[in-house]
Every structure is written in structure tokens, then in C-alpha cells.
């Protein structure tokens, strides 16, 4: 394959060019209650060519190698047109020449697991809630995406990397009259099919939560001290803070550039945030990004001070900051854009029991259930929670909406737990879909959280 990529690149008369070829294999299985609603497996492949000419950067995707000449001519023409109209010429930060083959260590390669075994495992998890006789409905799905990627550029880099992800996720729906409750479950990862086997206890636990929620009371609206569990803390970190750490999000906003200036004090002294795609076996793991840049841990915040940001080669050059290896494409149809890999709040010393004791009276909130951000303000829903009295969880609560401002919330984080968990089901919809985007946190204690019930 690299011989073919080199041949195509040799015909590109540009200041720089890179070319990705990718085979993408997908398997999907879905149940709605007892009905099998989807079962499909397919493979697709294609190329993405990027060219830099006279300070203009253009991208084109094509699916057949015989179309490479026409695609190259179109990309070069577009790059020249872009350069004429650009305010500033595009520059790329220097990146070392790389020759590498990166194949993941897998506990059973999902490509070699028969589809009937995947079907029966999905059916098995789907049947667990239904077997209680008290669950109104279920939605359960198996998803597998394997990307076999080849990257080459005119600087001499040649990288082969495979990325394999498989997961099982779904929802358990319970109903009592007009009251309906929905609890999500999910597990999976990038280290093989073995990750989704033997997870019955988690489905059983979420089934119990869905049933208990029918007896829970709606939360009373107000301002509370709260403890957020790892999944909620991770979603906050990703959505409210992480996107502002992506250089392309803020580059055209002078206001945000000033607020997110390196060295700015944004959080409390105990708050440390990192993005690290190099962590083995976690959902967002990769070794090289889709520009051929080595992924590296990036300290975004240290002791509440902004210390880093996520870059592509273009933005690293524009900002005059180090490369981070965070330019990622959904697949062969897209040019890479800046994406979080695995963002998380780093753990500290207190246990959950310590945090609840320090909380005293307040709320303990668990698991995200949708949400959105608007600039520096956010709104998230929690799946369920508990009132906390004297440091002990008391009655279960539901219908929980959390609203706040990023900067105020960062300053209101008063304690960080010792129990970091990284999500097994992630994802991000910025520009393209990235199902591998990973986030997590330990339990965190936050003051002054505005809670609105439905």
C-alpha cells in the first residue's frame, strides 16, 4: 500500500502533501424489546489527500486509486484559490519523519469473532432487564468499528495503525402509569471483544436503578453543594472545559483567546486536567494522529492554571505552541480536525466517603443523561441521584437538571476524589462523529450548583 501512496504523492506539485488510505469495517446489531431490528456488517475504503500550496491548504476525498490524478489536480487548484483569499498563509509546525506499524494488542480480535456470537451476546444482555417482568422496554445494540489506516506524506513519514473498537450499549425503560424512566448502560473499549463479555452485573444494577426510579421523588429546584460521580464529572470536563482547550474552537474569538490564555488562573488550586491518548486500552487510545504526529499527554490545567492546549500542525504553528498529536478524522471521508483523545480530571487523595462526609447535606448525582453547552454556560441532566443528610446518602431523586457557568464552576470545585474512572462509552459530535472520544474524572465536590427539577 505504501508504494501506491508514494506513487500518488510523487505526482503532487505542492509545498507539502499527505495522503491517508483507510479500510473501515463496521458491524451493528440492535434489539428493541424482543425484536431484532438491525444486523449488518460492511467494509468501506477510500483516500483523503491534503495539499499545501502557496499558503493554501485544501483537502479532497476519493475512493478509487485511478481517480488520484484528477483528485490531485482539483486539490491543487483549490489550494491556490484558498491562498489568494486567505488573511494569513497556512503554516504547519514541523513534525519528525516517522516510519511505524502500530497494531493493537487485543483480547480476542473482534474481526475474528463470528457474527452469530456477537448476536447472541447482545440478545443475552437485552434479555436481562426483560426477564424481571417489570421492565416496559429495552434498546440494546452492539457496535464494532475497525479502522485499518495507512498514512504517508511528502516529508517521508509512513505509518500503519489499526484502531479497533467494540461496545454494547442500550437503555432500560420502566413505566408506572404516565411516569416513564430511562436508564442507560454501556461498556466496551479498544482492547478486544473480551471487554464486552461477562458484564451481566452492570446490566442487572442498571435494571435495579430503572425500577427504583419509579419510586424516587423529583428533586426540588435550588442551589446545592453536590458530589458528582465520575461519569458526570467526565462529561463536564469534556463539554464545558475541554472544547475550549481545542485551539480551533477559540482561534477566531479574541474574547475566548484572552480568557483561555496560557497562565490564566481558571480553577481552584486542587484542579489538574490532562488529555492523554497514550493511555493503553482506554477508549480514546491511539499512537499517531491523522496528521502523522505522535500522540502525547498534554497537561491542560495544573493547580487551576491553564498550562496547555490541543493542536493540529496548523494551529500549533499559528499559536507558536507545541504539537500535541490531537488532529483526528472520523474516517477516510474527512480531513482531520482537533479532537480530545482522553480528557480527565486527575485524582487526588479523598475517598468517596470522605467527600460525602465533607458535603454534609447536599446532593449526590450520578451519570449523564444528555445536555448542551452555549459558550461558557452549560446545562446537563443527571440520570439519578440521592439526597445526602449528614454525609450519608438518603432518598433517591430524579428529574435532575444542572446548569452553570464554566469559569464559576471551575472555581467552585472544592475537593477531588481518588477514584478516577475513564468512560467506556464516549463520543463527540464536533464537526464529525468521534465515537472514540474518551473522558473521565474521580468523584468531585462542587459548591453552588444550580439544580432545576422538571
pLDDT value of position 453: 64
Average model confidence (pLDDT) across the chain: 97
| DSSP per residue, 398-421 | E-EEEEEEHHHHHHHEEEE-S--E
For 451, the enclosing helix (H) or strand (E) is: strand 444-453
For the beta carbon of residue 319, count every other beta carbon within 10 angstroms.
16
Q: Which residues of 324-361 are buried (b: 16+ CB within 10 A; e: fewer)?
A: bbbbbbbbbebbbbbbbbbbbbbbeebebebbbeebee
Instruction: Please enumerate in sequence order all residues whose Cβ is within 8 A of that of 385, keeping only pairs 6 or more positions apart, or say none.
Output: 219, 363, 364, 365, 366, 396, 397, 398, 400
Report the candidate in 160, 19, 148 with the shortest Cα–Cα distance to residue 99.
160
Residues recorded for the chain: 454
pLDDT value of position 371: 78
pLDDT value of position 38: 98
* pLDDT digits 0-9 by tens, 240-297: 999 999 999 999 999 999 999 999 999 999 999 999 999 999 999 999 999 999 999 9
For 122, the enclosing helix (H) or strand (E) is: helix 115-130
Q: Which residue has the cell 479532537?
A: 339
Instruction: Enumerate the β-bridge partners of residue 80.
Output: none
pLDDT value of position 454: 56
Residue 364 grid coordinates: 449526590
Report the candidate in 357, 327, 136 with the shortest Cα–Cα distance to residue 248.
327
Residue 414 grid coordinates: 472544592
Alpha helices in 304-401 (DSSP H): 313-319, 352-359
Boundaries of CATH 3.30.2290.10 in the chain?
2-215
Which fold, 2-215?
A: PmbA/TldD fold (3.30.2290)
pLDDT value of position 279: 95
Residue 163 grid coordinates: 484502531
Distance CA 12, CA 411 (A): 51
pLDDT by position in tens, the chain (length 454):
999 999 999 999 999 999 999 999 999 999 999 999 999 999 999 999 999 999 999 999 999 999 999 999 999 999 999 999 999 999 999 999 999 999 999 999 999 999 999 999 999 999 999 999 999 999 999 999 999 999 999 999 999 999 999 999 999 999 999 999 999 999 999 999 999 999 999 999 999 999 999 999 999 999 999 999 999 999 999 999 999 999 999 999 999 999 999 999 999 999 999 999 999 999 999 999 999 999 999 999 999 999 999 999 999 999 999 999 999 999 999 999 999 999 999 999 999 999 999 999 999 999 999 878 888 999 999 999 999 999 999 999 999 999 999 999 999 999 999 999 999 999 999 999 999 999 999 999 999 999 986 5
| Separation in Å, CA 46 to CA 24, 103, 138, 148, 333 | 9, 20, 36, 11, 7
Predicted structure pTM score: 0.96
Distance CA 160, CA 174 (A): 46
Residue 171 backbone class (left: φ over 0; alpha: ψ -120 to 50; beta: rest): beta
Instruction: Please enumerate in sequence order all residues whose Cβ is within 8 A of that of 170, keeping only pairs 6 or more positions apart, or say none.
Output: 31, 125, 126, 138, 139, 140, 141, 184, 185, 186
Amino acid at each position: 500500500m505504501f508504494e501506491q501512496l508514494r506513487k500518488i504523492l510523487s505526482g503532487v506539485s505542492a509545498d507539502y502533501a499527505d495522503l491517508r488510505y483507510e479500510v473501515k469495517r463496521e458491524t451493528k446489531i440492535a434489539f428493541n424489546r424482543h425484536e431484532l431490528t438491525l444486523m449488518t456488517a460492511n467494509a468501506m475504503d477510500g483516500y483523503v489527500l491534503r495539499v499545501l500550496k502557496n499558503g493554501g491548504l485544501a483537502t479532497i476525498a476519493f475512493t478509487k486509486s485511478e481517480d488520484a490524478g484528477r483528485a490531485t489536480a482539483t486539490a491543487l487548484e483549490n489550494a491556490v484559490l484558498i491562498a489568494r483569499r486567505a488573511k494569513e498563509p497556512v503554516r504547519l509546525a514541523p513534525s519528525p519523519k516517522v516510519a511505524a506499524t502500530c497494531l493493537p494488542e487485543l483480547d480476542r480480535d473482534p474481526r475474528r469473532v463470528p457474527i452469530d456470537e456477537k448476536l447472541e451476546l447482545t440478545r443475552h444482555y437485552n434479555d436481562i432487564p426483560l426477564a424481571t417482568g417489570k421492565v416496559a422496554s429495552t434498546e440494546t445494540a452492539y457496535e464494532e468499528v475497525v479502522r485499518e489506516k495507512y498514512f504517508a506524506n511528502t516529508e517521508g513519514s509512513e505509518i500503519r495503525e489499526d484502531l479497533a473498537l467494540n461496545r454494547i450499549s442500550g437503555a432500560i425503560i420502566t413505566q408506572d402509569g404516565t411516569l416513564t424512566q430511562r436508564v442507560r448502560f454501556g461498556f466496551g473499549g479498544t482492547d478486544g471483544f473480551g471487554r464486552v463479555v461477562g458484564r451481566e452485573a452492570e446490566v442487572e444494577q442498571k435494571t435495579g436503578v430503572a425500577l427504583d426510579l419509579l419510586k424516587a421523588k423529583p428533586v426540588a429546584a435550588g442551589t446545592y453543594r453536590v458530589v458528582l460521580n465520575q461519569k458526570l464529572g467526565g462529561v463536564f470536563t469534556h463539554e464545558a472545559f475541554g472544547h475550549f482547550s481545542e485551539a480551533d474552537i477559540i482561534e477566531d474569538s479574541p474574547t475566548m483567546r484572552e480568557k483561555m490564555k496560557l497562565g490564566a488562573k481558571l480553577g481552584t488550586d486542587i484542579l489538574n486536567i490532562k488529555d492523554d491518548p497514550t493511555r493503553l486500552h482506554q477508549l480514546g487510545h491511539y499512537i499517531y494522529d491523522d496528521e502523522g504526529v505522535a500522540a502525547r499527554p498534554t497537561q491542560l490545567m495544573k493547580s487551576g492554571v491553564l498550562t496547555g492546549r490541543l493542536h493540529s500542525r496548523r494551529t500549533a504553528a499559528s499559536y507558536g505552541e507545541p504539537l500535541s498529536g490531537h488532529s483526528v478524522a472520523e474516517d477516510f471521508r474527512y480531513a482531520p480536525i482537533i479532537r480530545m483523545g482522553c480528557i480527565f480530571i486527575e485524582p487526588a487523595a479523598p475517598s468517596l466517603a470522605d467527600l460525602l462526609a465533607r458535603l454534609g447535606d447536599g446532593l449526590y448525582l450520578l451519570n449523564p443523561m444528555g445536555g448542551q453547552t452555549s459558550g461558557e454556560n452549560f446545562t446537563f441532566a443527571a440520570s439519578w441521584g440521592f439526597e445526602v443528610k449528614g454525609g450519608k446518602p438518603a432518598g433517591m431523586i430524579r428529574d435532575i437538571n444542572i446548569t452553570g457557568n464554566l469559569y464559576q464552576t471551575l472555581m467552585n470545585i472544592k475537593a477531588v476524589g481518588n477514584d478516577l474512572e475513564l468512560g467506556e462509552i464516549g463520543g463527540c459530535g464536533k464537526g464529525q462523529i468521534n465515537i472514540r472520544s474518551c473522558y473521565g474524572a474521580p468523584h468531585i465536590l462542587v459548591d453552588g450548583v444550580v439544580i432545576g427539577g422538571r
